[in-house]
Amino acid sequence: MDSPYPAIDATGLIVAYKDKLVINEIDIRIDNGDKAIILGRSGCGKSTLLKSLIGLIPHSRGELRLLGREVNNIDENNQRELSLNVGVMFQFGALLNSLTIAENIALPLEMHTNLDNDIIMDIVRTRLDSVSLLASYDNKPDQLSGGMRKRAALARAMVLEPEILLCDEPVAGLDPTTAAEIDELLLSINEELGTTLVVVTHDLMSIERIDGKLLMLDGGHVLFEGSREEALQSKEPNVYSFFHPGHYE
């Protein structure tokens, strides 16, 4: 059941590595079913923010709520429920090379449900089919191309049908045709299932295709928030140079 709360709601969020401030008092609100793109130059804090959203890096100060639950202060039962409702597609897939693709995708179901193995494998087949990977059921990750591994990672991220899907550089390293296919899969998940989509990327074509709310980070701050059309018209120097590479005012 969809949460009555925003998918992601952060206020005054601060994230630091020891003494190094990476995210500096930012406010973010992403509503259920929305598409959001976290963008910016390398080193601006995009991946750190994503890791903070899933609790891999605790925030130092401020409030961060996912589906109404405070990420840093949550009991074990609510933590488990929250983890089931947040899928993550990692940049390099994070697939286990010792397992087949089917076994990789089955892992979350085996860990978090009491379903019979036959039912789990039926779900796995359905999810693989949804990303056109059914023929790779018994393959190992190192037998797949980069684009196929990305699709397998997406299938695993969605196998529990989470309310929020977080994607870290989902098209990085892919050729333009394969990148477009991955973006189309992400859009279909958002449109058909109502899944809140949050994508970390610096790929201009991907930003155009997904066409979601933009949150541009710079120096740990939110430099720009708005639509792609508004970003293209922005005269802020760092926003302008990002969207018009090679052109200077």
Taking the C-alpha atoms of residue 154 and residue 131, their distance in angstroms, rounded to an integer, is: 8
User: 69 - beta bridge partners?
Assistant: 66
Alpha helical stretches, state H, the chain: 46-53, 76-84, 101-112, 117-130, 146-157, 176-193, 204-210, 228-233, 237-243
Handedness of CA 66, 71, 74, 77 (dihedral sign): positive
- Determine contact, residues 170/199, Cβ cutoff 8 Å: yes
Q: If we measure between CA atoms, which residue out of 238, 206, 172, 176 comes closest to residue 37?
A: 206
Average pLDDT over residues 181-186: 92
Residues 6+ apart with CB under 8 A from 227: 211, 213, 214
pLDDT tens per residue across span 12-57: 999 888 778 888 889 999 999 999 999 988 777 888 888 888 878 8
pLDDT band at 224 (very low <50, low <70, confident <90, very high): very high
User: What pLDDT shows up at residue 1?
Assistant: 46
Would you kindly state where each structural domain of the chain is located, as residue ranges?
A: 1-85+191-242
Q: If we measure between CA atoms, which residue out of 8, 31, 81 comes closest to residue 190?
A: 31
Counting every residue written for the chain, the total comes to: 249
Mean pLDDT (the chain, rounded): 88
- Determine contact, residues 150/104, Cβ cutoff 8 Å: no
Q: If we measure between CA atoms, which residue out of 75, 63, 77 comes closest to residue 28?
A: 63
pLDDT band at 223 (very low <50, low <70, confident <90, very high): very high
From the number of C-beta atoms within 10 Å of its C-beta (0-12, 13-18, 19+), residue 180 rates as middle
3-state secondary structure of 91: coil
Q: If we measure between CA atoms, which residue out of 155, 153, 167 comes closest to residue 37?
A: 167
Query: Measured between alpha carbons, how far is residue 170 from residues 4, 19, 142 in Å?
Result: 28, 30, 18
User: What pLDDT shows up at residue 232?
Assistant: 93
- CATH architecture, domain defined by 1-85+191-242: 3-Layer(aba) Sandwich (3.40)
Is pTM, for the whole model, over 0.75?
yes
CA neighbours closer than 13 Å in the CB half-sphere of residue 30: 27
